[in-house]
Chains A and B, each alone.
Chain A
Amino acid sequence: MFVRKLRNNIQSALHDLRSIKLTSDRDRMFLTANDQDEMEIAIKRLSHVFGIQSFSPVAKCEATLEAIKETAIHVIGSDETADKTFKVEIKRIDKSFPYVTGELQQEIGAHVLRNFPELGVKMKKPDILLHVEIRQDGAYLTSKVYQGAGGMPIGSNGHSLLMLSGGIDSPVAGYLMMKRGVSLDAIHFASPPFTSEMAKKKVMDLATQLSSFGASVKLHIIPFTEIQQMIVHQVPDNLSMTTTRRVMLQIADQVRQEAEALAIVTGESLGQVASQTLDSLTAINAVTSTPILRPLIAADKLEIIDLAQKIGTYDISIQPYEDCCTIFTPANPKTKPKLQKVEYYESFSDFEPMIEKAVQERTVIELPIQETDEFESLL
């Protein structure tokens, strides 16, 4: 299950690299590349695929001593060698190979030293460990180990709905859940004509960026204008934000059900803004018993920004488009809203049919979007 998911995720992350082929055995997967550039791109992308502990570029050659020696020079030569130490490690899976391990180590080691006299030899903790594995179909040489992203293959831990605002935090929250193996749908609230197409495009870009970590993301865009106007008219200014969040959560919960997701993920971080105090979270959370996962709840803003930059969502998030939360921002939202009061004011309006309608009329976009054919015909 774990391996199959991982395999699919790797395949989808590398689908456009034509020279790359994927094969696997029990505990390892092999990618073969015929193109150096594609190989480099693959290495970059693999470092983002969850569920990979580590990976190494491997050179394959004929299982003859001469070929192995020559390939060893190429493999070592791809690293910095000045003032470094190395060691040769042999694994003879093909026992019919006409040299024993000790001989091989000596032959290969001596050949490497002749070509790279600046290298030192060290048996314990060398800088470069040249690993040679001899199999029936050839010899495999490697000297580099890249750290994988760790985590678990996306999809191995179920499915959740991410509330994606367009800000810095929510994509990071989504990323962290993906890292724990959760696949995502995302929900976004749009208030045209107050919010622009560009704001929508920005959220699509964010979802697309998240999808680059190994699984497509279905984005639900909710038409929110009517509800927001109703709230502005019916609920006192300083509580309107709390009500807005409560309605959003109710809508999200319905979409979650339809998307067959188990939990809702948000980018909330304790105390960051008025809606993210413990009192606010309590008042907002009261509309549902669905688990709400808040992976950033204890993170500092700077830590979040760091991570956002690392995963490539920061530059998208800081594009200057208004979203629905920043349009009707009241001057003094309550940081300690009382649930009873909020419920009292909400009781004068019937949100139920409006919520129903918003859920019905949502737009669903699967990301990444395959490039439009419109461009295809022009190019």
Chain B
Amino acid sequence: MIYFDNSATTQLDDRILQSYIEVNKRYYANPASLHLKGKEAEALLERSRAQILSILGAPNGEVIFTSGGTEANNLAVIGLAKALQSRGNHLITSKIEHPSILRAMEYLEAQGFEVDYLPVNTDGVISIEDLEAAIRKDTIVVSIMHVNNEIGAVQPIEAISQMIKQKSRAVFHSDAVQSFGKLPIQLDAKGPDMITISAHKIHGLKGSGLLAMKKGVIPHAINFGGGQEKGLRSGTVSVPDAVSLAKSIRLNAVEEERKDFRQWRNQLIQFVDQYVRKDQILVLAPEQASPHILTIAFQHIKGEVAVNFFQEKGITLSTSSACSSKSGNAGHVIEALGIPQKYKNGVIRISFGNMNSDQQIEEFKKILASFMELLGRGQHDEVE
């Protein structure tokens, strides 16, 4: 079995699972308790936090552990809007954000906030001019993802950060769920003020994520209870999850883009070129994308058909995004790209992870070729 759906989720790394089990066995106490067991658990929790902040380049910053990327994104957008509403009520995001950002923005709109949704070009990238034009005096939050989950488009984080700083006092949040571990991202002067990371996208556990922020950028809480995590995320903190996430982050952090993934991606682009020239396949965001995601679209074929074919041959991949793949529409990201109608429903996404190999790429090429051959035969029956 070849698993090429790492953007949906990844296979758990054994070393991380071992840590998870060990911590559950040995440090099961509540880190908020005053007894020795609790203090040990707390020390381990704080050590995890410090390790993460040090890797993210913000040793003075803050990490809030959450149930995953969605909760962290909600906390960032809604929590920041509430915290900063005395300064203004305008937010900026892009049209191709994850639903956990878009739905949160819509919620805020219903609450009386104003939101601008920046368009993207055919490569899925926003323009800095559009951003500049959208920034207002009362802009308080800009949330723009680092890497798009459906097509891998990479946003120019440094330029965005610079523009925001130059024009406003807005806080810059970036959803780095897809990018972390594949592209470098830091909470430094050139980076965002706040990022979201999810454990299960980097060979960690499902149900675990975090919101990391620079010093001094504190959102309001959006859930209420015992005041854990500095009051920002009530609920007993899962030390095993926090430790496992710290370990996933350590094992996956990169100082430059993943060269192995980039090489695989380039090889595949080169391979599909023969079909691209015959207009049978369109490569989405060929130059601008993250090394680990290759999204292609077949002409006049439903993505689902391709997914089923590959499934049959032992290769797991997906239509553009697991979150939207059941709904049957092309989805908001594909729509936002403005690609030709004939490709819109034929999108599939191949996404790499640590468990993939050169051999699997070769295997994939063979199966893709046989699929195209099959289509070629089928084309005679089609009436254009």
Contacts and interface: CB of A to CB of B under 8 A. Distances in A.
A198 B39 contact: yes
A352 B39 CA distance: 37
A319 B34 CA distance: 9
B57 A37 contact: yes
Nearest to A198: B36
A379 B47 contact: yes
A375 B44 contact: yes
A62 interface: no
Nearest to A18: B54
A23 interface: no
B39 A379 contact: no
Given A378-B22, A378-B243, A38 B47 contact: no
B36 A379 contact: no
Contact of A201 (B23, B36, B59, B250): B36
Contacts of B159: none
B48 A41 contact: no
Contacts, number: 41
A379 B243 contact: yes
A200 to B, nearest CB: 9
Interface in A190-249: 196-198, 201
Contacts of A303: none
Interface in A312-346: 319-320
Task: Provide the main secondary structure of the chain A interface.
Answer: helix
B323 interface: no
A371 B47 contact: yes
B48 A379 contact: yes
Chain B, interface size category, equals 20 to 34
B36 A378 contact: no
A260 interface: no
A306 interface: no
A24 interface: no
Interface residues of A, number: 17
A37 B19 CA distance: 30
A41 B189 CA distance: 16
Nearest to A44: B60
Contacts of B243: 378-379
Interface string B34-55: 1110010001100110010000
B19 A378 contact: yes
Given A36-B189, A198-B36, A198-B39, A379 B59 contact: no
B59 A38 contact: yes
Contacts of B188: 36-37
A356 interface: no
Contact of A198 (B19, B23, B34, B44): B34
A300 interface: no
B246 interface: yes
A79 interface: no
A40 interface: yes
A40 B22 CA distance: 36
A36 B215 CA distance: 13
A155 B43 CA distance: 30
Interface in B39-87: 39, 43-44, 47-48, 51, 57-60
Contact of B23 (A38, A320, A378): A378
Contact of B250 (A36, A38, A379): A379
B59 A37 contact: yes
A196 B36 CA distance: 9
Interface in B168-209: 188-189
Interface string B327-341: 000000000000000
A374 to B, nearest CB: 8
Contacts of B47: 371, 375, 379
Nearest to B38: A198
Contacts of B19: 377-379
A41 B247 contact: no
Given A198-B34, A198-B39, A371-B47, A379 B247 contact: yes
Contacts of B58: 37
A379 B80 CA distance: 30
A38 B57 CA distance: 9
A197 B36 contact: yes
A379 B60 contact: no
Interface string B299-310: 000000000000
Contacts of B43: 375
A221 B79 CA distance: 47
Interface in B1-44: 19, 22-23, 34-36, 39, 43-44
B39 A378 contact: no
A323 to B, nearest CB: 15
A29 to B, nearest CB: 23
A378 B247 contact: yes
B246 A379 contact: yes
Contacts of B250: 379
A163 B350 CA distance: 66
Interface of A: 35-38, 40-41, 196-198, 201, 319-320, 371, 375, 377-379
22 contacts: A36-B188, A36-B189, A37-B57, A37-B59, A37-B60, A38-B59, A41-B59, A198-B34, A201-B36, A319-B34, A320-B34, A371-B47, A375-B44, A378-B23, A378-B243, A378-B247, A379-B19, A379-B47, A379-B48, A379-B51, A379-B243, A379-B247
Given A375-B43, A378-B44, 8 more contacts: A37-B60, A198-B34, A371-B47, A375-B47, A378-B23, A378-B243, A379-B243, A379-B246
